[in-house]
């Protein structure tokens, strides 16, 4: 069941199917109908959608974007709490179903990504926000701009796999499963500017993340590159900001407090830096292996795996833990006795002022 689907039966590809679609106003009450969608947009450009969706049912996403270019999508969604399907408010797709008789969303099968997409969401009582669905190797969505204001989202505000040139302006969430998660596991993706993040009260103290960039280990492995996280505010998640592997991360002026484990954790990210900010009252579980600021991990690779070229400057962090660091430079203020170096220490410079915090 779909309100608007621009499918036809001619052989088209790229962005040449339809252009110049504008839909403003109205409210869609899906009434929990299974697989119901409001818009399925495929192989088109110059799109503007501005509407409200309520009572979403068991659908992968209520607004579907496949091979769409130059689009602005503004959706207010409420009470769209799918339980067994993905349940995304807006979904980015690259369809891989060649059988166009059963696949209502695309014709032909030419694996065109989305390009120049702006998504603005207002969410309450929904399962997910903006999500990439069915990532395909070597097909990367690009020039994505995302903003969201959310209350009671059971899973992610944003979940992405193959995206590059990604930017946020405002990511506000309270009582959420996760903030933004980037699982860069298929290709090399680059250029992320994450601004305006203010997320609070992760639903699960064992799994919730404020911002998580995740990729694989190895010089030739799929990874993210060139990430800028600017002025993030994160409260009461399992971990505040985590970067797994990857390269080229800059975190500027973070305010991370009250997380159950690490406030900020660099997990083997190469060429990583944190400048300014305040990190305190994290590691509420009280584990010796966690801290407000945590770089490296000794409990892997036989205790010998190193983190290379991390820079920390002008940071106030109540507790700092550095493990197996090489070619790094750390300049910070922390509580007396709360700066811990563990494992190897080669070619590093430390300027840590311990105070009676």
pLDDT tens digits for 315-329?
Answer: 999 999 999 999 999
Both structure tokens of 211: 């911002």
Is the pLDDT at 96 greater than 70? The verdict is: no
Q: Can you tell me the mean pLDDT for 141-169?
A: 97
Averaged pLDDT for residues 127-148: 94
**The pLDDT of residue 191:** 98
Which is more confidently placed, 1 or 354? 354
Q: What is the pLDDT of residues 180-191, one digit of tens each?
A: 999 998 899 999
State percent of the chain over pLDDT 90. 80
What is the rounded average pLDDT of the residues 11-24?
79
- pLDDT at residue 160 above 50? yes
| Under 8 Å between Cβ of 148 and 121 | yes
Q: Report how far apart, in Å, the C-alpha atoms of 342 and of each of 274, 301, 308, 311, 316 are.
A: 20, 15, 15, 17, 20
Please work out, in degrees rounded to the nearest 5, the angle formed at the alpha carbon of residue 74 by the alpha carbons of 252 and 249: 20
**Least trusted range by pLDDT, from 18-22, 177-181, 307-311:** 18-22
- CB within 8 A of 71, min separation 6: which ones? 41, 45, 46, 47, 48, 49, 65, 114, 116, 117, 118
Instruction: Please report the pLDDT score of residue 310 as a whole number.
Output: 98
CA–CA gap between residue 82 and residue 131 (Å, rounded): 14
pLDDT at residue 97 tops 90: no
| pLDDT, averaged across the chain | 92
Q: CA 157 to CA 56: how far, in whole Å?
A: 16
CA 326 to chain centre: 28
pLDDT value at residue 7: 61
Lowest mean pLDDT among 105-114, 207-216, 299-308, 335-344: 105-114
Question: pLDDT exceeding 70 applies to what percent of the chain?
Answer: 93
Q: What is the pLDDT of residue 109?
A: 56
pLDDT (0 to 100) of residue 98: 56
pTM: 0.94
Question: What is the predicted pLDDT for the residue at 106?
Answer: 47
Q: Is the pLDDT of residue 2 over 90?
A: no
Give me the phi and psi of 326, to 5 degrees please: -135, 140
Residue 95: what pLDDT? 72
Residues 46 and 18: their CA atoms lie apart, in Å, by 9
**For 32-81, what is each residue's pLDDT tens digit?**
999 899 999 888 899 999 999 999 999 999 999 988 999 999 999 999 98
pLDDT band for 6, please (50, 70, 90 cuts). Answer: confident
Q: 107 or 157, which is more confident?
A: 157
């Amino acid at each position: 069941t779909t309100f608007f689907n621009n499918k036809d039966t001619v052989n088209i590809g790229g962005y040449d199917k339809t252009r110049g679609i504008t839909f403003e106003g109205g409210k869609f009450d899906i009434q929990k109908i299974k697989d119901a969608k409001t818009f399925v947009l495929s192989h088109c450009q110059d799109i503007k959608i501005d509407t409200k969706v309520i009572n979403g049912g068991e659908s992968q996403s209520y607004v579907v974007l496949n091979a769409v270019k130059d689009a602005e999508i503004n959706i207010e969604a409420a009470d769209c709490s799918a339980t067994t399907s993905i349940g995304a408010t807006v979904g980015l797709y690259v369809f891989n179903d060649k059988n166009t008789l059963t696949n209502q969303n695309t014709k032909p099968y030419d694996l065109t990504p989305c390009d120049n997409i702006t998504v603005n969401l207002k969410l309450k009582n929904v399962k997910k926000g903006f999500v990439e669905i069915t990532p395909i190797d070597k097909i990367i969505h690009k020039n994505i701009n995302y903003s969201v204001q959310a209350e009671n989202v059971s899973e992610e505000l944003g979940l992405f796999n193959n995206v590059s040139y990604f930017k946020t302006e405002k990511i506000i969430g309270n009582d959420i499963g996760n903030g933004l998660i980037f699982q860069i596991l298929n290709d090399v993706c680059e250029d992320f500017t994450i601004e305006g993040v203010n997320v609070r009260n992760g639903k699960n103290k064992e799994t919730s993340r404020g911002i998580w960039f995740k990729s694989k280990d190895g010089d030739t492995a799929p990874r993210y590159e060139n990430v800028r996280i600017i002025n993030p505010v994160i409260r009461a998640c399992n971990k505040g900001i985590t970067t797994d592997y990857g390269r080229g991360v800059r975190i500027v002026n973070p305010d991370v407090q009250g997380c159950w484990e690490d406030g900020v954790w660099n997990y083997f990210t190469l060429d990583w830096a944190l400048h300014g900010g305040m990190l305190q009252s994290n590691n509420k579980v009280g584990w010796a292996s966690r801290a407000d600021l945590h770089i490296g991990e000794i409990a892997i690779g036989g205790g010998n795996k190193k983190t290379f070229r991390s820079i920390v400057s002008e940071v106030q962090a109540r507790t700092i833990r550095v493990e197996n660091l090489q070619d790094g430079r750390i300049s910070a203020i922390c509580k007396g006795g709360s700066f811990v170096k563990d494992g190897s220490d080669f070619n590093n410079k430390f300027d840590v002022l311990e105070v009676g915090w």
